Structure 1
Amino acid sequence: MTTSPTTPPAHAGPGSGWLARLWRGRTEDATWVRPAFLGLLVATGLLYLWNLSASGYANSFYSAAVQAGSESWKAFFFGSLDAANAITVDKPPAALWPMALSVRLFGLGSWQILLPEVLMGVGTVAVLYAAVRRRFGAGAGLIAGAVLALTPVAALMFRFNNPDALLALLMTVAVYCVLRALEQERGSARWLVWAGVAFGFAFLAKTLQAFLILPPLALVYVVCAPGGLGRRLGRISLGGLAMVVSAGWWVALVELWPESSRPYVGGSQDNSFLELTFGYNGLGRINGNEVGSVGGGGRGGPGGMAENLPAGMDLPARGGGGPGGGWGETGIGRMFGDAVGGQISWLLPAALILLVAGLVITWRAPRTDTARSAFLVWGGALLMTLVVFSFMAGIFHEYYTVALAPYLAALIGMGAAVLWEERAHGLAPVVLAVTVAVTAWWAWTLLGRTPDWLPWLRWVVLVTGAVAALGLLLVGRVDRRWGLGFAGLGLVAGLAAPFAYTVETVNTAHQGSIVTAGPAGGAQGGRGPGAGRPFGGAGMMPPGGQGQGQGGQIPGGQGQGGQLPGGQGQGGQIPGGQLPGGQGQGQGQGRGVPGGNPPQGLPPGMQQQGLPQGAARDAGTGGGGMGGLLNGARVDEEAKSALLADADDYTWVAATVGAQNAASYQLATEKPVMAIGGFNGSDPSPTLDQFKQYVAEGKIHYFIGGGGGAGGGRGGNSEISTWVSETFEEVTLGSSTFYDLTSRK
């Protein structure tokens, strides 16, 4: 096997200007290389910028924390949900920092929040290209970069404000640094130290998920790096130390900071970031025992939502027919299933085939061969993440799979390059042909899951792939130009379907806590909270909630007057005002009918304030799924005006249960709103006594009823709601119920 050797950078000449050098790149490169690379970055940037502001504040939970961080450096440091620092988000704050700085510089708005995410996407493509081209050539780097840019879930998350964009960038940087370290002939540990720094800051973006790929990368370095074993272990120890320092400085400060002068650590039950890291955001994601989460404690465990549900009411299992719980079927087929397949798996079979082919071709190379090491590093990262995602029993969302995209894309570029070089020998043409054929067949299968969306595309992809596969069987015997033509046709067949999904993704607004890429129905069982999640989707009204809402049937309804736990609907109680899967318009405080028609008074398709009419379809209407847990609320002008009146006289202009509900009012007013119980509404912060003290000190003006979240919880949030309703005057402002905490009954 021959591959392009690693070479030092060279420039166009001492007399050239910097623009000429930027355009020309290395003198040893073909003239098309640098322009093609720059064109890839520009095209990626334009694709991801298209229709960017349509998503409004995207995930209002994180946008509220960004707004808070732009107003308060203390909130910036801790990742607080509000500038008065009541409680933090349920993650460390590194992913919030670029967005908060952008808002601090340019003001609050959709572009200011989401543009840093787009830049992270372009940066990830650039780093991936650099990592692949060093050993496998510019063509391989361009293929890898294009595959990443056109992966639907990547197009989704690099235009969204969840932590996954920064995580994907830093993981790609970490792999790049490890690959550079594997090239070092002498004792420098510089690149391993930089890899440790990348891992450390990735931990500060999304805690333990950052360490998923650490074991395979460390193992490959210890086995394959140059030098003696002692030297290799010493270098990797320095990298580990850099990782601990890069992540540990913030953790140490938070844990040592007096609890009385810092915000409560959201997502934890004991106000501890370490508990959050190893519980809700750590082992709980693996075994499903996530105390304080929507289905925490194994659906019925302590602190979980199931613990606080009314009698006869249970969380429905998401996904069907296989092992798993409320977060879907687990098993090796998870990444290929209806919910996830269209997000990431278009080229996953090809990546696995090319990984095996690359290892077979390089197997007899010396121990320190960098080509084989690259396959082991990228392949190990892919397989480790793939296995964990496939079998984790805790909270799992389809968009998590963006973590797989850089590893998958690298294997496609590398494997294609190696097989192309070997096309005149052995079975390489057969493997190329099989890879293209399998990819086309799988695209045909995935497109068949949305039969009404571009029905012609699946047949074009299948036929194109078949022609390319037949041509590639002869690639070692025909003229090189014919071979390149068949290879290009195979690339088109492989990328056509994900490209179409990606275009649909960037043309669609996405909001709320759970979002998916591609056309509606492309993630069956996973399209927003009305699709297969607790309380979402038709037919999922829990037992004991029988009744009929005005204007339409409540699933399972038997007649008027039935008890539907937790709300204010006419003819029965509706949980949080929601009619999951409803066909008509229930009356109550809640604003959402996930999976059904929007309620009266809310324009069709309107998700929340700031989102164009008819644009989004991910997170239910208005209040979102599960009584506002998954998305924010629409804020009426009357409510906004009331909150802004005398706002500077209060620490918090309002308080409400659940972070999404609080976020909507905070983003509308740009004033602190206390999120009682954090994201799920189940964190024990504040306690009833603490809340009474805040009210007595005149720190909170209003309590907003109808908040979302699991409620109850060990923090006694339902007790707070009960105390407020029994003690203070109720005021209706627009479509919302407020309690004036300065006016007792």
Structure 2
Amino acid sequence: MTAVAVPSAAPKPVTVRRPRWVRPAVAGLLVVTAALYLVDLSASGWANAFYSAAAQAGSQSWKAWFFGSSDAANGITVDKTPAALWVMGLSARVFGVGAWSVLVPQALMGVGSTYLLYATVRRTSGPAAGLLAGAVLALTPAAALMFRFNNPDALLVLLLIAAAYCTVRAIEKAGGAWLALAGVAVGFGFLAKMLQAFLVVPALGLAYLIAAPAPVRKRLLHLLGAVVAVVVSAGWYVAVVALWPAADRPYIGGSQDNSLLGLTFGYNGFGRITGDETGSVGGSPGGGWGSTGLFRLFGSEMAGGIAWLLPAAVLALAAGLWFTRRAARTDRSRAALVIWGGWLLVTAAVFSYMGGIIHPYYTVALAPAIAALVGTAVVQLWRLRADPAAAGVLSGGLALTAVTSYVLLIREPSWLPWLAPTVLVAGLLAAVAVFFVNQLGHVAARGLAVFGLVTLLAASGAYTVATAATPHSGAIPSAGPSVTRGFGPGGPGGGGPGGRGMAGGLLGTTTPGTTLTSLLTSGGNGYRWVAATVGSNNAAGYQLATNLPVLAIGGFNGTDPYPTLAQFQVDVQAGHIHYFLGDGLTLRGSDTGSDLAAQITTWVAQNYEATTVDGVTVYDLTT
């Protein structure tokens, strides 16, 4: 039995028996989603080698696993809290270090997110809406990109959908325990990707405050309890890191003060909003990450991943609020609109106007809200199609999606050139037909419904399949077919196979040649670090090739103040580091962070003899 809220002028939940088709339909959705996210997954190799190397380190050292260290010798951490690495590290411990053990957990999180979104939407709008929402999520290009990649975003999305599910359950009966569980999910979302997890909190809290069937005082107490749950579930790790002696743990990568709080509120916090990020590759207040504004999400760098159904989702939110305007305070349909609409508006506003580091794949955080709004609106408006207003909104949504899809597709003129005009014509025809659907017979109406759904999802679905079929590597993957690659195989900074090897950089990963790999591994177990190099991506490539710790001087950007020149000299004199590998990052001045990497590079060059192996400058620090 399940409660389904049917919108009307004053919608009331009605109890219906779940149709027989629901379970096989859900199973089919999950099987197709799993195939989309799992087939040929290993084609991306290490994907983001920065995180793959940290997972490798975690499989070798429990301390590295706990802190999210880049290397098993615990020199420096990645520039995020490590919850996503905990999953990858455990998988690597159990199944061995490889592309599958690193990437399969992300794909399974995608399948789990699809099911959890279905389950959440079903509770307020019925199984058909839940299935459509799950399908929209699975066929969002940014989702296919991240659920086949090893960035922290996959775990973040799963946890935020879990928080929404718990909030919906809490609203049903004013359940403080369920709301506390929502807080726990958000708290662990912080441990996956820090403050980004908190962008959904206003929507979840507002929905509960408005709709929970309890007195105001009780609702406020429950919200206070949820806040405590967030603080405890996120704060325990922050407290452990703060209290752990700094000399006995790795340096906190991304920070300028070896502090997780500094990382949280600086480089990964308010600096992302203002653009004033010390140590950032952007380099100055105001950032260097493209123009900000209302239409940023429709720009070429982000639109392909998320914009296909974004206008339709906004229309769905407005229409849903209008149709539920006279509903009771506790109406669950409107509460769901507050959750998903608030999620969408707050996150989209932050992404649109933030002046600091932002990458196109961040937009995956919008996908669940868009999917839930579209899935709910299509089903509910279809039920109300006898009302001209509902039929008009449904028709307008189809037309809007057709035009949006056409505009996005013509940006890729060399990829499926027939698809753009086909989607436009079919979508507009479906929109016109839907407006007059009430005049059609039952069979014709069902056929039109199927045709409309196909046109609704055709463009984003094709782009999603193309995304899944394209291998991705490097630090900034992008959605879409291979012809759109900005960073990836063959793109700027992209790594790849080769006998001589390839140099890395800020965003790409070093692929050492066979001669250099053999040189590093010969006797490498006798050193704490087999080598040191500037930048985490450079270090990751050498580390993955040798399966030995490599010290990433200066962290991801090469601008973290670790190690100091004195620390490095002590480690060299103690015989802890065998080689220094040059040809790393272009070194930056102190105005963008620490210049210690430049000091260390200069000291090495002045005191040790350089040789060239497979095109890489090598210094033997033991001679």
| TM-score scaled by length of structure 2 | 0.95
1:233 pairs with 220, 226, 235, which one?
220
Q: Which residue matches 1:607?
A: 495
2:372 pairs with 410, 418, 426, which one?
410
More moved, 499-508 vs 263-272? 499-508
* More relative contact order, 1 or 2 (CA 8 Å, 6+ apart): 2
Distance across 1 between alignment mates of 2:436 and 2:492: 53
Tell me how far 1:488 sits from its aligned partner. 1.7
Deviations 1:288-315 (A, max 9, x none): 00101102342xxxxxxxxxxxxxxxxx
2:43 pairs with 54, 59, 65, which one?
54
Q: Which residue matches 1:633?
A: 510
Aligned residue type for 2:166: C
Q: Does residue 647 in structure 1 map to residue 546 in structure 2? A: no
5 Å matches for 1:218-367? 218-298=205-285, 325-367=287-329
2:180 pairs with 193, 208, 224, which one?
193
Deviations 1:193-241 (A, max 9, x none): 1101100000000110000111122122112211111100111111111
Distance across 1 between alignment mates of 2:323 and 2:400: 20
- Structure 1 residues 711, 651: closer, same or farther in 2, change over 3 A? farther
1:728 pairs with 600, 605, 608, which one?
608
Task: Please list every run of 5 or more consecutive structure 1 residues that lacks an aligned counterpart in the other structure.
Answer: 9-27, 299-323, 531-591, 596-605, 612-620
Q: Which residue matches 2:86?
A: 97
Distance across 2 between alignment mates of 1:593 and 1:497: 25
The alignment partner of 1:212 has SS state of: helix
| Contact persistence 1:657–1:711 (CA under 8 A) | no
1:594 pairs with 458, 470, 492, which one?
492
Tell me how far 1:416 sits from its aligned partner. 0.9
Distance across 2 between alignment mates of 1:149 and 1:286: 29
More moved, 161-170 vs 511-520? 511-520
Distance across 1 between alignment mates of 2:89 and 2:381: 45
| Contact persistence 1:680–1:710 (CA under 8 A) | no
Aligned residue type for 1:733: V
Tell me how far 1:709 sits from its aligned partner. 5.5
Tell me how far 1:2 sits from its aligned partner. 2.6
RMSD between aligned residues: 2.0
2:199 pairs with 212, 229, 247, which one?
212
Distance across 2 between alignment mates of 1:354 and 1:63: 39
Distance across 2 between alignment mates of 1:724 and 1:29: 70
| Contact persistence 1:117–1:160 (CA under 8 A) | yes
Distance across 1 between alignment mates of 2:550 and 2:81: 20
Q: Which residue matches 1:68?
A: 57
Task: Please list every run of 5 or more consecutive structure 2 residues that lacks an aligned counterpart in the other structure.
Answer: none
Tell me how far 1:138 sits from its aligned partner. 1.1
Q: Does residue 706 in structure 1 map to residue 583 in structure 2? A: yes
Deviations 1:353-383 (A, max 9, x none): 1111111111100001001100111001000
| Contact persistence 1:339–1:522 (CA under 8 A) | no
Distance across 2 between alignment mates of 1:342 and 1:440: 14
- Structure 1 residues 87, 325: closer, same or farther in 2, change over 3 A? closer
Q: Does residue 121 in structure 1 map to residue 114 in structure 2? A: no
The alignment partner of 2:81 has SS state of: coil
Q: Does residue 401 in structure 1 map to residue 401 in structure 2? A: no
The alignment partner of 1:701 has SS state of: strand
Aligned residue type for 1:365: A
Deviations 1:441-461 (A, max 9, x none): 110111010111101011111
The alignment partner of 2:439 has SS state of: coil
Deviations 1:397-443 (A, max 9, x none): 00000000001000011111211121112411111111101101110
Distance across 2 between alignment mates of 1:637 and 1:264: 31
Distance across 2 between alignment mates of 1:355 and 1:704: 54
- Structure 1 residues 663, 712: closer, same or farther in 2, change over 3 A? farther
- Structure 1 residues 245, 450: closer, same or farther in 2, change over 3 A? same
Q: Which residue matches 1:484?
A: 446
Aligned residue type for 1:608: G
Q: Which residue matches 2:73?
A: 84
Distance across 1 between alignment mates of 2:511 and 2:26: 43
More moved, 413-422 vs 277-286? 413-422
- Structure 1 residues 696, 492: closer, same or farther in 2, change over 3 A? same
Distance across 2 between alignment mates of 1:81 and 1:36: 43
Q: Which residue matches 1:153?
A: 142
Distance across 2 between alignment mates of 1:479 and 1:132: 29
Q: Which residue matches 1:681?
A: 558
Distance across 2 between alignment mates of 1:420 and 1:409: 17
Distance across 1 between alignment mates of 2:70 and 2:408: 39
Distance across 2 between alignment mates of 1:352 and 1:141: 18
Tell me how far 1:5 sits from its aligned partner. 4.7
Q: Which residue matches 2:166?
A: 177
Distance across 2 between alignment mates of 1:273 and 1:160: 25
Distance across 2 between alignment mates of 1:668 and 1:522: 29
Distance across 1 between alignment mates of 2:190 and 2:618: 39
Q: Which residue matches 1:164?
A: 153
Aligned residue type for 2:487: G
Identity of aligned residues (%): 55
Q: Which residue matches 1:18?
A: none
The alignment partner of 1:742 has SS state of: coil
The alignment partner of 1:83 has SS state of: coil
Distance across 2 between alignment mates of 1:62 and 1:480: 53
- Structure 1 residues 610, 377: closer, same or farther in 2, change over 3 A? farther
Tell me how far 1:732 sits from its aligned partner. 1.9
Distance across 1 between alignment mates of 2:519 and 2:400: 60
More moved, 469-478 vs 127-136? 469-478
Aligned residue type for 1:376: V
Distance across 1 between alignment mates of 2:587 and 2:277: 13
Aligned residue type for 1:156: L
More moved, 220-229 vs 99-108? 220-229
1:446 pairs with 398, 408, 411, which one?
408
Distance across 1 between alignment mates of 2:291 and 2:309: 22
Tell me how far 1:529 sits from its aligned partner. 8.3
5 Å matches for 1:522-671? 522=484, 527-528=486-487, 594=492, 607-609=495-497, 622-623=502-503, 628-671=505-548
Q: Deviation above 3 Å: which 4+ runs of structure 1?
A: 3-8, 520-523, 592-595, 621-624, 709-713
Distance across 2 between alignment mates of 1:686 and 1:6: 64
Tell me how far 1:608 sits from its aligned partner. 2.6
The alignment partner of 2:583 has SS state of: coil
5 Å matches for 1:363-382? 363-382=325-344
The alignment partner of 1:268 has SS state of: coil
| TM-score scaled by length of structure 1 | 0.80
- Structure 1 residues 609, 70: closer, same or farther in 2, change over 3 A? farther
